[in-house]
Amino acid sequence: MKLTHLLTSAALALGLTSAAVAQDKTKVGFIYVGPIGDGGWTYEHDKGRLAVEAQFGDAVETVYQESVPEGADAERAITQMALQGADLIFTTSFGFMEATLAVAEKFPNVKFEHATGYKTLPNVSTYSARFYEGRAVQGHIAGKMTKSNIVGYIASYPIPEVIRGINSAYIHAKKVNPDVEFKIIWAYTWFDPAKEADAATALIEQGADVILQHTDSTAPQAAAEKAGNVVTFGQASDMGEYAPFPRVSSIIDNWAPYYIARTQAVIDGTWESTQTWDGIGPGMVGIGEISDAVPADVKAEALALKAAMAEGSYHPFTGPLKKQDGSDWLAEGEVADDGTLLGMNFYVEGLTGEIPN
């Protein structure tokens, strides 16, 4: 208890002095789980940070710490940032959840934004993106473009987000190609180029001519390029250096609009704890330029699908849909609710293989 008092009083003192000095900069901090040069997840978060700097100029000062391991080190890094006077801190990985909450309790005047989490406090919000909307577009293109009818999927960890992505892609591939089959490899990593390259190669050797990935490096694109006629999609960032082939499109994490909006809210004093889950519409999920390697009609359909999701007239999980074990899930026209989606732990009907554990 004593330490908490000390910290709070230190923060208050700092806050008072900084407020007294001038109506000065809002300090926005970012805690990254990987290096900003990873070309994927952290890279895109950092782009969001740079967008905040560009938008607000001198009114805002940003700080960041990269490659923060989850656990006690995360708590220290976040506390450090709070002690140094941050007003708003973005913690950009699920694994920072407990640390964020622990620090938030000690610094009630600092606002926290936790990515992909689900626990909130009066000064903690959560935010995530509806990546499954992007997967729907990818699945559609994959189903149309595959000639061998085998689509390879490099999955990371068996968590709801990844399972959602697999299901969404499969549903839309199957819609346009009833013979399509998905082969899934669980890489148990978010970012390990060597392993991803091996996984991609293994899938290609098993006959896949389209590769989808939920891991963040460009290694699968390189493996696909080496193999020749394999289609891939960029993940987390555009991976445009592999366009127009093998990368025919991508899902781009676009955090800038959200980050700018939240920073503005702190500056205006209107910040409140919210749980945001945005998709293509608000701009959080970007679909990378569909290259010319995709046939014109497929491209048009994909763009139409994207537009429908953007305006909210189409939801990727719309019934009739059954679960893998045959039981009914969604009736005709019924749309999946967010709760089920957030905790998704089952495959839809048609997918072979089991979710680990």
Please, which of residues 111-140 interact with other proteins by CB under 8 A? Answer: 118
Tell me the per-residue interface mask from 223 to 262 with other proteins, x by CB under 8 A, - otherwise.
------------------x---------------------
Pick 72 or 300: Cβ nearer other proteins: 72
Contact flag: residue 336 with other proteins (CB under 8 A): no
Could you tell me the maximum CA-CA distance found in the chain, to the nearest angstrom? Answer: 68
Residue 137 or 238 having the CB closest to other proteins: 238
Return the axis-axis angle of helices 72-83 and 2-21, rounded to nearest 10°. 40
| Cα of 221 vs its chain's centroid, Å | 19
**Sole window of 45-53, 72-80, 172-180, 294-302 interacting with other proteins (rule: CB under 8 A):** 72-80
For residues 172 and 175, what is the distance between their CA atoms, to the nearest angstrom? 5
The end-to-end CA distance of the chain, in Å, is 40
Query: Which lies closer to other proteins via its Cβ, residue 3 or residue 331?
Result: 3
Stretch that binds other proteins, among 79-87, 125-133, 248-256, 326-334 (CB under 8 A): 79-87
* Interaction between residue 16 and other proteins (CB under 8 A): no
Q: Which of residues 34-63 bind other proteins (CB under 8 A)?
A: 35, 37-39, 43, 63
| CB contact at 8 A, 253 and 237 | yes
Q: Does 337 bind other proteins (CB under 8 A)?
A: no
Q: Are 230 and 210 in contact (CB under 8 A)?
A: yes
Evaluate whether 324 touches 349 at the Cβ level (below 8 Å): yes
CA–CA distance, 186 with 69 (Å, rounded to integer) = 22
Q: Which residues, in sequence order, are bridge partners of residue 287?
A: 251
CB of 315 to other proteins, least distance (A): 21
Q: Closest by alpha carbon to 114, among 3, 29, 214?
A: 29
CB of 76 to other proteins, least distance (A): 6
Indicate the residue among 220 and 280 with the shorter CB distance to other proteins. Answer: 220
